[in-house]
Structure formats: structure tokens, C-alpha cells
Structure 1
């Protein structure tokens, strides 16, 4: 038995015990043995570059160790399903919603970001038998060898440090290895892909962000950023950049997706485009319907209480969502559409510059790819398309880890703070 197979068997057994019996482990192991594509999947390091799962960590009664159900719970990532889906780890995002661009707003965002980072680290420390904090690509590989799932920290939106860029060093000391400057709305660093141009790319402070990220060995993530920001980041950064969860505009024309021309620039810099599974970026929005829009707006207001929402409360909201969707049906993307984005990206920029993130627990999820347990389907589809296991290994984690290595190799060793590791 290979080291990876041994690790998988051990993890499956542990997960099965949490699920109430060894039957799950036996069934999962048998499935891998009987399915050649699954056997290939189990030998790869499978990494998702954008989990929004940390938003669940402060919820009463919610645990990363419980097996949740996407359809009823609305949750798409947990330890048992990482095992079930053959997922070795990923970047757990510190997502901070955009807010007032004031000193008070900046301080609140800073405190929120630090608290979220602490929650992620506490999760890893509490379950150090199955999780391991990762700071480097080598750490991810060591976690796999130790039969654990690795946890990188990333930041989605520069709001927590836009008021004081020295805070980037603080977050680096907490273990953050990837940062994006902006989210849905413009901020003091950059223009968003989904807002009207303000800076026409990076602000002067945003350009300082690029330089500081390079100095600290932080991977620059331009998902959610405008096209101008992407191009300027490529021009200014010494290291390759990443789009941690995006799509291809040639397949579906949406400002959150990357154009072929810009994707080529990313690849020429050595960067990677991680293809996501977010339906709204893959199919056209339905025609406006005042009744549906009002119902969904009220529903989304309920989801804004995520941090304090109990499991029962979220299930109730999910039931309301299903009822609204049944009453006002809208187009939903599917697995074939996801593969169209993925295969187009590979054919355009090459196998060395493409990866995957479902954007799970952050709005991602489509028919046929609704949580991380569906990830073996992607491996099977890529094998069917003629790609080798070595090729697929690059897509599943090798490319993203390479970008991390290159960013950290270009860092100023004197600038990178020591990170306390507790596991």
C-alpha cells in the first residue's frame, strides 16, 4: 500500500467512527479500489484555494468535525467530507465584508480579521490530530505524509489592513500566506470588478500593497479585482499572482471572470487561474422579477447573521430558500459548464497555470458539483479528456503550491515575521 493509500485508509477509518461506524470507511475504500479514476484521485494532493468555511466557525453548535449535508444545512466543507471527497486541504479564507471607509470602519475590519484568523487557528489546534497549520508548500506535503489535512490562511478583501499596511505583517505573523486587495466594492486599495471605476486600477496605497506582499512572501490574489487591477498587479509584482476563484469570460461574459487576453498575461507571469463553481458567474441572470427579488433580498438579510446562526436557524433559512427557488425557478449552472471553463483555461494557458476552487461555503455550488465530495468527478472528467495523472496533479494542487513557493522564495527574509505554530 502506498503512503497516500495508507493515509487515506487511516483518515477514512477515523471519519467513519465519527459518522457512526466503520461501514463508511469500508465502502469508501472499496469504491476507490473499484474505480480507477478514484484511485488516481487518492494519489494526488487535492487543494482548494478558497474555502469560505471559516464563516461557520463561530456559529453555536457548528463543528468542522460533523458531517453536514449541503442541501439541508447549506454547508459544503467539513472534515468527514474532506475525507469522502479526497480533499487534502486548502486556503481557509478570512473574508471581511466591505464597510465604511473611515478610521472607525478600518478598526472594526481589523478586529474582525484578527478574530477570524484566531478562530481558524483555534480550529486547527483543537483538532490537531486531523488538521495541521500550513505556512509553506512543504508544510502541506508534510501534513499529507502525517495523515492530516492542511490548513492555509488567506484573506479575501484588504479592508482589515487598508487603513494601515503595517497590519499586513501582523496577519502574516498569524499565518496568512495569500491576500486579495478588494471584494465586491471598491476600497482604499483597488477597484472591484463589480463596482464603477474609482482608481482605474490600484490606488497609490494599493501599489504599496503589491510591494509589501512581495516583501512578505504573500501570494497576491486578484479574484474580485477589476481588469485594470489585474494588469497592474502583474506589471508591478515580482512574484506570480493567482486568481483564487474565478471563471473564464470567453465561456460566460461576466466581469468576475477573466478574459483570454488577461489569462494569458497571468500565465506569462507564472501565475495560476483557479476555476470556480459559482452559478451566477456561469449562467445568465434571470429576468427581473420584483416578487422573487424581494423574497431573495429578505432571505439574504437573514444570512447576514451567519456568525451567530445556529444549525437549526440555518436549516430553516435553507428551507425558505428552496421554497423561493421552487416558486421562482431560475437557471442554474451544471457540471458540464464547469468543465467547459476548466478545459478552456487549460487549452488556452496550459496545464501549468490552471487550478480549481469551488468557492464553497461562499455561494459556490452547481448541479453535479455541490460540495467537496463531488471533487473526484473532476479527476474522472480530466482523465476522460485525455489528461495524465501528472497533469491532473498540477491542476489539483501542484500549480498553486508552486506559486506559493515562488512568492516565498522572493520574500525578504528579514521582513517575514515568525509565526507561532501550535500543532
Structure 2
């Protein structure tokens, strides 16, 4: 993976940098902990990985996070759907993130509340929020949520690409007609703790079930608009229309197949009926066959990404839109190659006429509002 291309050096880009000097920028989802865990040399050792150096083969490291003007970053303890020991794996990923905080305390501070983002911004640091991506990490024990919260976890994505024992996934066969009764208890306990409920990866019916149950605003930490790109991971209009009533935030993601319908269609031969690559598939072989038949992969762009932001802002309002990159060391759109490129989003929206007030909401203001609302609803 190459480093980001030089940005368009115009007045809009200069204004974007100036804006991000004044207001906090928060990214709702990044899988760096899993990248470090799977790195063939580091194997989960933060010191061996060398986070303070540029890693051009992936997309996230300290120099490029700082260049991207981040003030808050949600890092995921991603638990693969087929992980045989999901709780243990989640705990190992939490330990890895705590190691990042310890070894790079000059760059990161613990993100435990909205106030930590504003403090980090003032200090020139980044508030590191720990999240769990996949509720299988509970192993069906409700009290595990309390333990994760005490370890510093402030958000949980209810499922991943597979349906769990209590939550239907957007990319798997449904088993619960949305959320089971235990799943509803999970949402209520997260409300009580002050932990953000994240509906990325969740089936639309389960989204509706959560919106019926939750007493706090929710996140979609890395999802786009289904009307612009029909990937099942994107949010359909009937769900979007309920977001303002909940007060939540849809954090648009950089994943090309969620941005570009052409990219989504190009990949269909490598996906099952639910939009994911089967575990038994030789993906490299299938992709080579797609290239031979259909030509190179269509490239998503920062402009197409901003089309989703425009759509969301018009559909649900500027108070309910955020940014959730989902950087995980894979193919990224033109103009959004790595964590140094967040200002490109702001610059493109300036060119489209977005006001400074609405840009500040997008960058981090909406996320901070939800965090404070979730904190206020906690017992």
C-alpha cells in the first residue's frame, strides 16, 4: 500500500487544516490493534511494531495520525466471527491497546469520556477510545460488559459479519428476527453503564429493535447510505429516518465497497448472497478471475465518499453525521489512502459549500454530543 498522494493544495485545503487546528477531529473506527496482532514480525508486540514510524504497507501509524489532525480515535478490539475463544481474544486486544497507551503516552491519553477528547486537543495528543467489535466477546455473559467497561471499553459493536447467539448480522442469515431478548438486555445494560451501542454490522431489523429499546443515542461507527451503494452493511432509509429521533450519529466509512456501487458490483463474484467472502474461498484466485473478466477493480474516491456525507446530511440532518474510516490495512479510496488524509474530506466539503458550523459537527462535535448523552444516561 502506497502512502497518500499529495493533497490538492488550494484554499479549501488550507482552510481545512486551519479548521482542524481549532476543532477536534474524531474517527469512529480503526482496526490497528488487529493489524499489529496479525503482523508477521510484531505478532501483537507494540514495541516491536514501531508505531512511531511510518508503515507504508498499511494505513495507520503515529506520524500519519498526527498529520491527519486527529484528536480522538476509536480503536477496535476486533473479534473474528469464528474465533474459538472470543472473550480471551478481546482481552488480548484490550491489553494491546493499553500497551499503546503506556508506550506512547506522549501521543495518546485514555479516552474514557467526551472531556478526554477536548483535553487531548488542548494537549496536542489523541484520546484513545477502546471498543469491542463483535458482541461474541461477551460469551453470553451479561456481567462481562461491566468488566469490559472497568477496563476502559466505551463502545461495543453488537455483532460482526456473522449472526451471534443474540443479534442478527447484516451479512449473515437471520436467526432472531433482529435482536433476541438477551440482546435487548445487552442494550439496556450498556445504557446503564454508559457504553455506546454501535449498530455497524447489525441487520436492519436488529437496528430497529435497538432503536425501540435504547434510552441513549447510538452510533453506526463505520457504515454508509444504502441508497447510494447497496452493500448490506450500509444503512437503509427507513432506519436513517429514525436517527434524528434517537439523536445518534452515522459515521460514514472509507471502505470502497461501501462507497462505490461500481466497486461493490465488481466484487460480487467473490461474495456470497449476504455480501461477504466465504471462509472456504480462495480469494486471490477468484479476484484474478474477476480481473481477467471485468478488468481492474474500480477505484472509489474521496468525492464519492463525500456524496454519502451529503446524502446523510440532507436525509437526517447535519447533527447526525460523523466520520468512521475503518482503516484496516487494505485497499482505500483515492484521496483517503491513510490517516493523514482526513483533511481531504473537510476540504472537499468546503468546496461543496458546507458551513464551518456543520464541518465542526461532522469532524467531532456530533460524536462528543452523543458521548455526553450516553454518559448522562448512565446510572
Range into which the TM-score falls when normalised by the shorter chain: 0.7 to 0.9
The answer for the alignment partner of 1:48 in structure 2 is 27
Q: Give the match's secondary structure for 1:56.
A: helix
Matches within 5 A, 1:25-44: 35-44=14-23
1:125 paired to 2:102: yes
Q: CA separation in 1, counterparts of 2:269 and 2:244?
A: 37
Residue 157 (1) aligns with residue 138 (2) = no
TM-score (norm 1): 0.78
Residue 357 of structure 1 pairs with residue 293 of structure 2: no
Q: Which residue of 2 aligns with 1:213?
A: 190
8 A contact 2:270–2:283 mirrored in 1: no
Note if contact 1:56-1:62 (Cα within 8 Å) is conserved in structure 2.
no
Which of 85, 97, 106 is residue 80 of structure 2 equivalent to?
A: 97
Between the aligned partners of 1:243 and 1:365, the Cα distance in structure 2 is: 20
Instruction: Answer yes or no: is the 8 Å Cα contact 1:152–1:177 preserved in 2.
Output: yes
* Cα separation, 2, equivalents of 1:219 and 1:397: 15
C-alpha separation in 1, matches of 2:13 and 2:220: 35
Report how far residue 31 of structure 1 moved. 9.8
Q: Residues 271 and 34 (structure 1 numbering): CA distance in 2 closer, same or farther, change over 3 Å?
A: closer
Matches within 5 A, 1:304-343: 329-343=296-310
SS of structure 1 residue aligned to 2:100 = helix
Note the C-alpha offset of 1:94.
0.6
Post-superposition offset of 1:325 = 8.8
1:137 to 89, 92, 114: 114
Deviation string, structure 1 residues 364-400 (Cα, Å, up to 9, x no partner): 6212211121111111112122222221111011111
Residue 32 of structure 1: how far off its partner (Å): 9.9
Residue number in structure 2 paired with 1:314: none
Aligned match of 2:62? 79
Task: State whether residues 359 and 365 of structure 1, in contact with CA within 8 Å, keep that contact through their aligned partners in structure 2.
Answer: no
How far, CA to CA, are the matches of 2:167 and 2:331 in structure 1? 24
- Counting only pairs closer than 5 Å after superposition, residues 17-416 of structure 1 correspond to structure 2 as 35-58=14-37, 59=39, 60=42, 61-69=48-56, 73=57, 75-99=58-82, 105=84, 108-282=85-259, 283=261, 284-286=264-266, 288=269, 297-298=281-282, 329-361=296-328, 363=330, 365-412=332-379
Distance 1:289 1:216 in 2: 40
Structure 1 CA distance, aligned partners of 2:329 and 2:211? 26
Return the structure number with greater helix share.
1
CA deviations over 1:197-250 (Å, ceiling 9, x no partner): 110100121111011101110010000000011111011000011100001011
Contact 2:13 2:343 in 1 (8 A): no
Indicate if the aligned counterparts of 1:162 and 1:188 stay in contact, CA closer than 8 A.
no
SS in 2 for 1:57: helix
Aligned partner of residue 348 in structure 1, secondary structure = helix
Q: Helix, strand or coil: the match of 1:288?
A: helix
Query: Bigger radius of gyration, 1 or 2?
Result: 1
State the shift of 1:86 in Å.
Answer: 1.4
Q: CA deviation at 1:37?
A: 2.9
Give me the TM-score of the superposition, normalised by structure 2: 0.86
1:34/1:343 CA distance change after superposition, 3 Å = closer
1:317 equivalent in structure 2: none
Following superposition, the deviation at residue 34 of structure 1 comes to: 8.9
- Give the superposition deviation at 1:179: 0.7
Output the CA distance in 2 between the equivalents of 1:34 and 1:278. Answer: 23
Q: Is the 8 A contact 2:132 2:157 kept in 1?
A: yes
Q: Evaluate the alpha carbon distance shift between residue 212 and residue 363 of structure 1 in structure 2; reply closer, same or farther with a 3 A threshold.
A: farther
Number of corresponding residues: 352
| Unaligned runs of at least 5 residues, structure 1 | 1-26, 302-320, 413-423
CA distance in 2, matches of 1:186, 1:299: 22
Q: Deviations over 1:303-360 (max 9, x none)?
A: xxxxxxxxxxxxxxxxxx9x99976522232222111111100111111000011110
Mapped partners of 1:157, 1:278: distance in 2: 18
